Structure 1
Amino acid sequence: MSLSTTDIKRIAHLARIEVNDTEAEATLVKLTGILGLIEQMQAVDTTGVTPMSHSQDVSQRLREDVVTETDQRTLFQKNAPPVGNGSAEPAVEKGLYLVPKVIE
């Protein structure tokens, strides 16, 4: 596949990237090299080669899916900032943190 500087500028325009003539020429050289490498890789005969997801044959060690920590919500909510209005009660209601209204 051959590209031209017009193609590079069009691609840059679609990507909303400003490219001058010098940058377009440099990008053209790089993209032409990349496309050439892709053509070389596509020319390789891969019949009989099974696809693989990783270059090494490894498997991930998995652990049992068990609960290791207890519910500590009440303990954490004791650290909530006070409600205000002279009260020392944490700003928590029905298990949720209370925050100031910011949108009217």
Structure 2
Amino acid sequence: MKRISSDEVKKVAQLARLELNESEINQHAEQLEKILEYIKQLEKINTEDIPCTTRAIEVVNVLRKDEKKNYENSEEILDLAPSRENKFFKVPKIINE
């Protein structure tokens, strides 16, 4: 039983701005059918006792803690800036008062 029509594939292709020939339309219809069949299989699985999650594995922040460090030669860094004023970087104003 075919649930995905060629018109539906054409509509999705149009929304995605894809140009498909008839062979590609039929191929995508078959692939979408297989995807829907797989989803039907997944719907049969009992997940009642499975907690909701957004990831399969736990993600851990591996960044180091920021630490303030004094740089001995600040003039060297300031000289690399396109513009500076005294001991500060000078940047274009972006907020109007």
Q: TM-score, normalised by structure 1?
A: 0.62
Aligned to 2:95: none
Match of 2:76 in 1: 75
What letter matches 2:44 in structure 1?
A
8 Å CA contact 2:78–2:84 kept in 1: the answer is no
Deviates more, 1:3-12 or 1:43-52: 43-52
- The higher-RCO structure (CA 8 Å, 6+ apart) is 2
In the TM superposition, 1:1-104 aligns within 5 A as 2-56=3-57, 59-60=60-61, 63-68=64-69, 70=71, 74-80=75-81, 91-94=82-85, 95-96=89-90
Unaligned runs of 5+ in 2: 93-97
More strand by percentage: 1
Larger of the two Rg values belongs to structure: 1
How many aligned residue pairs are there? 88
Runs of 4+ in 1 over 3 A off after TM superposition: 52-65, 68-74
RMSD: 3.2
**Any unmatched runs of 5+ in structure 1?**
81-90, 99-104
Once the two structures are superposed, residues 80-100 of structure 1 have per-residue CA deviations (whole angstroms, 9 ceiling, x without a partner) of 5xxxxxxxxxx52432269xx
